Amino acid sequence: MDDEDVLARIREDGALRAALDLVGDFDVERVDPIEELELPDGERPVPIAGCASGGTYFLCGPAGTRRPVLYADSEGRATLAAADLAEALTLFTALASWRDALDGHPLDELEEEVRADHPDLDVVRERVRTALGLSALTPEEARERLRNAARRTVPDFLPRPTGHEGHYEPMHSG
Residue type, 135: S
In a domain, 39, yes or no: yes
Contact 60, 44 (CB under 8 A): no
Between CA 38 and CA 159 the distance in angstroms is 5
Decide if 25 is inside a domain.
yes
Report yes or no on 160 lying in a domain: no
List pLDDT tens digits, range 2-32. 898 999 999 999 999 999 999 999 999 999 9
Q: What is the pLDDT of residues 95-152, one digit of tens each?
A: 978 999 999 999 999 999 999 999 999 999 999 999 999 999 999 999 999 999 999 9
How far apart, in Å, are the Cα atoms of 153 and each of 42, 78, 170? Answer: 15, 8, 7
- Count of structural domains, the chain: 1
Q: Is residue 98 part of a domain?
A: yes
Question: Containing domain of residue 53, as a range?
Answer: 3-155
Angle subtended at Cα 114 by Cα 112 and Cα 3, rounded to the nearest 5 degrees: 130
The whole-model pTM stands at 0.94
